[in-house]
Structure 1
Amino acid sequence: MLVFFKERLVLLSVPKTGTTAYQTALRARADIVVSDPPELKHAPIYRYDRFFRPIFEKMFGVEMEIMAVVRDPVDWLGSWYRYRQRPFLRGRPKATHDISFDEFVLAYLRGKRPTFANVGSQARFLTPRPGGAPARHVFRYENQDGIRSFLEERLQTDIYLQRENVSPEMTLELSKDVEEKYRRKCPEEFELHASAR
């Protein structure tokens, strides 16, 4: 999470959406950098609303605007699947080495997800508490030019990105039946992505 107080902007770090690269590029420009522990770095909007928002409102009387990046839901799960293929995870409960991408997505769709498929939800990450502040600026991961332009204009600074926290490269294909099931069981994930800039 990055906080730019003068610009009244908070950039939430939705996991697997490339925000680590923005955090590295902008950390010297930010007023507050939350990079560890992961539960705070990747604080969802309800956690921001509960713990961080009251500080800005009660101490300074300001409302911060929230920005986030979301990824195509299939691509997002693909990134998690590939990320959990890193060699040092082999044999551990989070590893995805011995399962197909279809099996990974089907496990994600279960009521009780196994450890390797328990990766959260972009839609839940950005669902505010009752009366909480919504994310005003939600960008698609695929719109890197739009993300960068928005931040450069808002922060009046140039941004130079480096790839970080990258998942292993591999070609993934989700079968049509599994994708249809994913769309049917998790429509909010696809609606969120479709509504983003």
Structure 2
Amino acid sequence: MLLFWKQKLVLFAVPKTGTTALEAALLPHASAAILDPPGMKHVSVSRYRNMLAGFFEQRGRHEMETMAVMREPISWLDSWYRYRRRPQLAGKDNSTEGVDFDGFITAWLTDNPPAFANIGSQARFLRDGDAACGVTHLFRYDRLEEAVDFLETRLGADLALPRRNVSPEMAVDLSPKLEKRLRSERSAEFDLWAWLTERRP
């Protein structure tokens, strides 16, 4: 999470949405950064509101706008699956080695996912209360250049994004039956994506 005090802006780091590259480019311009531990780097919108907003926003006297990037839900899951197939994770509990994509999705849909499928939820990360979206500015991952343009204008700086945390290239298949179940059981993910794409077609 990065905070830009003068620009009154907070950037949330939604995992697997290009925010590691954004953070690398933006860090020199940030007033404050939470980069470690991972649980705090990826602080959710509701956690920010409950734990940090009062401090950073001086109890409402310096109200901040917020921004984040969201990825199409199946693409997001695909990226996580491929990222956890990295050779560096072979033999570890959070590796997807030996698990096909259907198996990964099935595990993610359980109430207590095993380590390799314990990746959280974009909808839970981004929503706050009953609002359709918990951030002021939400951008599409497949149009990341729009987020970059917004930040360059807001910060008055040119940004060059490095490639970070790139998932291995591989083809993955999701069976139609499981995709139907996924869309039904995790409808909040797809509802938020639909809301975003209607705003940013």
Q: Which TM class, normalised by the smaller chain length?
A: over 0.9
Distance 2:165 2:51 in 1: 27
Count of residues in correspondence between the two structures: 196
Match for residue 164 of structure 2? Answer: 164
Deviations 1:157-193 (A, max 9, x none): 1110111011111111211111111101111101111
Distance 1:142 1:154 in 2: 21
TM-score when normalising by structure 1: 0.94
Q: 1:194 to 1:129 in 2, by over 3 A?
A: closer
Query: Where does structure 1 lack aligned partners over 5 or more consecutive residues?
Result: none
Contact map agreement 2:53 2:59 (CA 8 A) in 1? no
1:38 aligned partner, one-letter code: P
Match for residue 126 of structure 1? Answer: 126
The answer to whether 1:30 aligns with 2:35 is no
State the Cα RMSD in Å: 1.7
Match for residue 42 of structure 2? Answer: 42
Distance 2:192 2:60 in 1: 31
1:82 offset after TM fit, Å?
0.7
Match for residue 94 of structure 2? Answer: 94
2:96 aligned partner, one-letter code: T
Contact map agreement 2:54 2:60 (CA 8 A) in 1? no
1:111 offset after TM fit, Å?
2.1
SS at the partner of 1:107?
helix
1:130 offset after TM fit, Å?
7.6
Distance 1:84 1:69 in 2: 21
Query: Where does structure 2 lack aligned partners over 5 or more consecutive residues?
Result: none
Deviations 1:46-84 (A, max 9, x none): 121122200133367111111010101101111111111
1:134 offset after TM fit, Å?
2.4
Distance 1:116 1:125 in 2: 19
Deviations 1:10-60 (A, max 9, x none): 000001101000100010011111111111111011121122200133367
1:88 offset after TM fit, Å?
2.2
Q: 1:130 to 1:187 in 2, by over 3 A?
A: closer
Distance 1:58 1:158 in 2: 29
Match for residue 148 of structure 2? Answer: 148
Identity %: 46
**Once superposed, which parts of structure 1, at least 4 consecutive aligned residues long, lie more than 3 Å away?**
none
TM-score when normalising by structure 2: 0.92
Q: 1:60 to 1:125 in 2, by over 3 A?
A: closer
Deviations 1:68-116 (A, max 9, x none): 1010110111111111111121121111010100110011111221221
Distance 2:111 2:163 in 1: 34
Contact map agreement 2:85 2:96 (CA 8 A) in 1? yes
